[in-house]
A and B are shown apart, each in its own frame.
Chain A
């Protein structure tokens, strides 16, 4: 029963991870760019939701919309201003550029908001909900469902709209897509902005659960890498599954070993997948 409880806790965290991982996977899938600024974008989304709550009294369970919109705009600008110029360049330069964006955003936050730990106190996130013999924190439950809604929206966009189809087409084959009359530039901007929006929404939904400080996104950046690799680089479904697997793996490590080793297990899993099954858990080996 305790194991079941542990798995459930892991799944709830995993749902949030999944949302974050999807954002990273979208960017990698469409642009083949590993976005090292992803964790910093999550952090920006958290600060946005924090100020929406403290200044406007907007609960993060609505504030995620604001964070997502803000990050969509920021992502669009980042793409136009910084990412597009390095699109044809080596991944060496692309990684360095997004690393630069990461460092700049984190230290900008440090400069503007200081290194203090912040936290919001949300009544509805502090209750305990009983599900039969299991108990869960209402905050995790609410964030999980909100994340599921956002993931559903992203899915609906990708599979039910023309633009979403274009995004999938570019992810499938960047060279052939323009021959089909798809505007690769616009699709790339949308994908990058949407990836940032996922990070923003994810950050907002983490706010009721985590402390907030400028480097809060760094461990989440590393987790996004793990998820995207678990799912097969660039696969959105895979990254979502990767998020759930990661959540459960961390939770079980915490139970059977100690919490402090859960991230070691993450990274070992990550290296193992990279070396043994580079196409990810769901992926098929390419010929």
Chain B
């Protein structure tokens, strides 16, 4: 283990420990709720980052797994009488199946076609949940079961969100430094070349999607329980998919720390904005994402973090170059030639 790595792991663990101690000092329910949201969206951004950041596949359909996690947890617990935590695990199971199905459909497509297909699959799920009223209560929504009964639920939710974000962060560190992660980055930089040197893009992307979907599903279950109520239109809203991508891009996609930073900035900014303008605090999302694309393509990390030589060489950010497939062809060259 190199010195740099040892410091990184030690620092990460120390940060985690500190974050777990926060509830000792912070008792205010509002602050705890904001902190909960920061780490839920950090977990979402980190999960998205595996597919969108490291593998460079712009998914705007990650809400599919969020929604499946929320609904599976709620329905398994309420209607089948499962223990709530078993319901959460059931949600992960359903999300993994969904990821296998959605991934094997959408990863056959490239560039904008992939993005559009991810949106389409998430929308199909939203409409099904909305319309299969016998199972899901449809547009009326459902009250969700509590994961943490008792008076200290706020603190418990916060701690759960921090732990989830930590797990997601560990997966990102792994993607940052492992052979598997290099496969993902090779696919991002040039899919055809990656294939030529022996990387199987379809399988590699699917393998990245599985942990991504599982984490997103867990975030969905936690969010559902903390919110006490879910309804298909907002729990499957494309806004959540967008937010996962924005959080990661803002902090720095394709870096492990980026989505965490992005979530801290975005959630705080959105809370401050909410104080000024009651509604429409999402305006800041739109403006931030435009600013990031135009001026900070590497995110905040890409701008300040010149420590890593590897990243500095990639200036102005990993996504600045043209990654698109050949014009007009939405398919992999592999799938048409084989």
Q: How far is the CA of A99 from the CA of B238 in the complex (A)?
A: 11
Q: Which of B127-135, B167-175, B208-216, B257-265 lies at the binding interface?
A: B127-135
> In this assembly, does A103 line the interface, its C-beta being within 8 Å of a C-beta of chain B?
yes
> In this assembly, does B266 line the interface, its C-beta being within 8 Å of a C-beta of chain A?
no
CB pair B113 A278 closer than 8 Å = yes
Q: How far is the CA of A156 from the CA of B245 in the complex (A)?
A: 41
> In this assembly, does A192 line the interface, its C-beta being within 8 Å of a C-beta of chain B?
no
Which of chain A's residues has its CB closest to B111's CB? A91
CB pair A104 B290 closer than 8 Å = yes
Number of interface residues of A (CB under 8 A): 48
| Interface residue from A100, A103, A261 paired with B293 (Cβ < 8 Å) | A100
Q: With A110-B279, A229-B116 in contact, is A96–B127 under 8 Å at CB?
A: no
Contact with B along A83-118 (1 / 0, CB 8 A): 001101111110111011111111110110011000
> In this assembly, does B137 line the interface, its C-beta being within 8 Å of a C-beta of chain A?
no
CB distance from B300 to the nearest CB of A (A): 15
Which chain A residues lie closer than 8 Å to B128 at the CB level? 264
CB pair A110 B280 closer than 8 Å = yes
CB pair A96 B328 closer than 8 Å = no
CB pair B283 A90 closer than 8 Å = no
Which chain B residues lie closer than 8 Å to A106 at the CB level? 282, 286
CB pair B289 A97 closer than 8 Å = yes
> In this assembly, does A275 line the interface, its C-beta being within 8 Å of a C-beta of chain B?
yes
> In this assembly, does B120 line the interface, its C-beta being within 8 Å of a C-beta of chain A?
yes
> In this assembly, does B323 line the interface, its C-beta being within 8 Å of a C-beta of chain A?
yes
CB pair A89 B322 closer than 8 Å = yes
CB distance from A168 to the nearest CB of B (A): 15
CB distance from B212 to the nearest CB of A (A): 17
> In this assembly, does B277 line the interface, its C-beta being within 8 Å of a C-beta of chain A?
yes
CB pair A103 B242 closer than 8 Å = yes
CB distance from B226 to the nearest CB of A (A): 24
Which chain B residues lie closer than 8 Å to A260 at the CB level? 127, 130-131
Name the residue among B108, B281, B283 with the largest chain A CB count within 10 angstroms. B283
- Mostly, the A contact residues are helix
CB pair B277 A111 closer than 8 Å = yes
Which of chain A's residues has its CB closest to B110's CB? A91
Q: With A99-B289, A100-B290 in contact, is A267–B123 under 8 Å at CB?
A: yes
Contact with A along B122-164 (1 / 0, CB 8 A): 0110011011000000000000000000000000000000000
- Mostly, the B contact residues are helix
Which residues of chain B from 238 to 286 have a CB within 8 Å of any chain A CB?
Answer: 238, 242, 245, 249, 277, 279-283, 285-286
Q: How far is the CA of A270 from the CA of B116 in the complex (A)?
A: 9
CB distance from B206 to the nearest CB of A (A): 16
Contact with A along B297-338 (1 / 0, CB 8 A): 100000000000000000000011111100111110000000
> In this assembly, does A237 line the interface, its C-beta being within 8 Å of a C-beta of chain B?
no
> In this assembly, does B112 line the interface, its C-beta being within 8 Å of a C-beta of chain A?
yes
Which chain A residues lie closer than 8 Å to B127 at the CB level? 260-261, 263-264, 267
Q: How far is the CA of A152 from the CA of B224 in the complex (A)?
A: 50
Q: How far is the CA of A258 from the CA of B130 in the complex (A)?
A: 13
Which chain B residues lie closer than 8 Å to A88 at the CB level? 322
CB distance from A74 to the nearest CB of B (A): 15
CB pair A101 B286 closer than 8 Å = yes
Which chain A residues lie closer than 8 Å to B280 at the CB level? 107-108, 110-111
Which chain B residues lie closer than 8 Å to A229 at the CB level? 113, 116
> In this assembly, does B166 line the interface, its C-beta being within 8 Å of a C-beta of chain A?
no
CB pair B297 A93 closer than 8 Å = yes
> In this assembly, does B68 line the interface, its C-beta being within 8 Å of a C-beta of chain A?
no
CB distance from B170 to the nearest CB of A (A): 25
> In this assembly, does A34 line the interface, its C-beta being within 8 Å of a C-beta of chain B?
yes
> In this assembly, does A282 line the interface, its C-beta being within 8 Å of a C-beta of chain B?
no
Q: With A82-B294, A97-B289, A100-B289 in contact, is A274–B279 under 8 Å at CB?
A: no
CB pair A105 B245 closer than 8 Å = no
| Interface residue from B279, B287, B329 paired with A115 (Cβ < 8 Å) | B279
CB pair B113 A97 closer than 8 Å = no
Q: How far is the CA of A88 from the CA of B323 in the complex (A)?
A: 10
Which chain A residues lie closer than 8 Å to B294 at the CB level? 82, 85-86, 97
Which of chain A's residues has its CB closest to B123's CB? A267
> In this assembly, does B44 line the interface, its C-beta being within 8 Å of a C-beta of chain A?
no
CB pair B293 A96 closer than 8 Å = yes
> In this assembly, does B60 line the interface, its C-beta being within 8 Å of a C-beta of chain A?
yes
Contact with B along A60-99 (1 / 0, CB 8 A): 0000000000000000000000100110111111011101
> In this assembly, does B218 line the interface, its C-beta being within 8 Å of a C-beta of chain A?
no
CB pair B286 A103 closer than 8 Å = yes
> In this assembly, does A233 line the interface, its C-beta being within 8 Å of a C-beta of chain B?
yes
Q: How far is the CA of A86 from the CA of B121 in the complex (A)?
A: 27
> In this assembly, does B92 line the interface, its C-beta being within 8 Å of a C-beta of chain A?
no
Interface residues of A (CB under 8 A from B): 32, 34, 82, 85-86, 88-93, 95-97, 99-108, 110-111, 114-115, 218, 222, 225, 229, 233-234, 258, 260-261, 263-264, 267-268, 270-271, 274-275, 278-279, 286
Using A267-B124, A267-B127, A268-B124 as known contacts, list a sample of 9 further A-B pairs with CB atoms less than 8 Å apart, ordered by residue number in A.
A85-B294, A86-B294, A89-B320, A99-B289, A100-B289, A100-B293, A222-B120, A233-B328, A270-B120
What are some 7 contacts across the A-B interface (CB < 8 A)? A90-B320, A93-B320, A96-B249, A222-B119, A225-B119, A234-B328, A286-B329
Which are the 4 A-B pairs with shortest beta-carbon distances?
A: A104-B286, A103-B286, A100-B289, A107-B283
